[in-house]
């Protein structure tokens, strides 16, 4: 067991109020419209996604994940993190969230590989909990699949969350995919037409869009994809596969488009092939900052 896990476990057991104290004591900047946002994503495990960098259990080791997150968040060009409450609480206890932008992940009910994957219910942060924790906004995922009734329930949940966040003056970040379910298995359709349609559906949720951002995959024709929206967009880092350089090249090309306001990447940076988290984060930071 890592020292990090042992220390946090003792603290949680003997002083459960330490989480609220740590969150209340941290400084929290607002979103700066003059600066593109660079967030590290860490909400994968709560949806049952453990694989990273070719290791099917990489993210299952909480100590390793937290140590890598702390290292990534220490980079001066990283603005913050996107995570579920358990990870946000751990990072707060570790003192890693001072001056950090934090988005709380809200719907993690659509477990990867499950028969109910697209019925992505809100099992994480509520808008009220995001306010209480002093976070900057909430992130949700919507996968639009005409053949799966779970999509409608997820749409309804997202619309409600958008309105609840807006009532507190907070941002909603919607991760959008077109999806399909075949023989009980779900997969994403990254074709332009399908993704643009899904973007239109997501953009129309809720009773106002003033504080809605989209989180979108990077595709070959990003300019055409983004012609479907006027909403601010953050790029989804995703899994780079075997060619990280090609992934970074696509990020750099997309970053110049007017809708793009930043990058949210997780496994790509936390579990790079060479194990050098700092170097991977530094390379991504140069892309986000136009270097």
Q: Assess if CATH 3.40.50.300 describes domain 3-288.
A: no
Domain boundaries, the chain: 3-288
pLDDT of residue 96: 98
Rounded distance, CA 217 to CA 99, Å?
A: 27
Q: Give the DSSP per-residue string, 109-153.
A: -S-TTSTTTT-----S--HHHHHHTT-SEEEEEEEE-TT-THHHH
pLDDT of residue 247: 81
At 154-209, the pLDDT tens digits run 999 999 999 999 999 999 999 999 998 777 788 899 999 999 999 999 999 999 99
User: Which H or E run includes 246?
Assistant: helix 244-254
pTM to 2 decimal places: 0.95
User: Do 164 and 130 form a contact (C-beta atoms < 8 A)?
Assistant: no
pLDDT of residue 263: 97
Q: What are phi and psi of 83, to 5 degrees?
A: -160, 170
pLDDT higher than threshold 70 for residue 1: no
> For residue 241, what pLDDT band results from cuts at 50, 70 and 90?
low
Q: What are phi and psi of 30, to 5 degrees?
A: -85, 175
At 124-156, the pLDDT tens digits run 999 999 999 999 999 999 999 999 999 999 999
User: Do 69 and 266 form a contact (C-beta atoms < 8 A)?
Assistant: no
For the chain, give the percent of residues with pLDDT over 90: 86
Q: What's the whole-number average pLDDT of the chain? A: 94
**CA atoms 170, 128, 99, 290: torsion sign:** negative
pLDDT of residue 118: 94
Q: Which two tokens stand for residue 49?
A: 């996604």
pLDDT higher than threshold 90 for residue 242: no
At 6-63, the pLDDT tens digits run 999 999 999 999 999 999 999 989 898 889 999 999 999 999 999 998 889 999 999 9
């Amino acid at each position: 067991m890592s020292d990090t896990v042992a220390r946090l476990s003792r603290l949680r057991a003997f002083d459960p109020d330490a989480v609220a104290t740590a969150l209340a004591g941290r400084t929290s900047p607002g979103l700066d419209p003059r600066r593109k946002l660079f967030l590290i994503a860490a909400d994968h495990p709560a949806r049952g996604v453990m694989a990273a960098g070719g290791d099917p259990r990489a993210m299952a080791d909480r100590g390793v994940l937290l140590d890598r997150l702390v290292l990534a968040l220490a980079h001066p060009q990283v603005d913050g993190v996107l995570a579920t409450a358990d990870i946000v609480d751990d990072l707060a206890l570790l003192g890693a969230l001072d001056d950090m932008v934090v988005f709380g992940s809200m719907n993690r009910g659509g477990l990867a590989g499950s028969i109910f994957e697209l019925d992505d219910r809100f099992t994480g942060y509520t808008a009220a909990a995001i306010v209480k924790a002093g976070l900057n906004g909430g992130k949700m995922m919507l996968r639009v699949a005409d053949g799966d009734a779970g999509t409608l329930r997820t749409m309804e949940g997202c619309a409600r969350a958008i309105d609840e966040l807006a009532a507190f003056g907070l941002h909603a970040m919607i991760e959008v995919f077109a999806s399909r379910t075949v023989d009980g298995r779900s997969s994403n359709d990254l074709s332009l037409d399908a993704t643009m349609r899904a973007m239109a559906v997501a953009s129309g949720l809720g009773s106002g869009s003033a504080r809605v951002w989209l989180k979108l995959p990077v595709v070959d024709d990003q300019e055409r994809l983004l012609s479907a929206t006027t909403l601010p967009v953050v790029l989804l880092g995703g899994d780079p596969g075997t060619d990280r350089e090609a992934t970074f090249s696509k990020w750099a090309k997309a970053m110049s488009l007017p809708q793009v306001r930043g990058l949210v990447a997780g496994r790509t940076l936390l579990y790079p092939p060479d194990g050098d988290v700092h170097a991977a984060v530094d390379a991504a930071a140069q892309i986000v900052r136009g270097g």
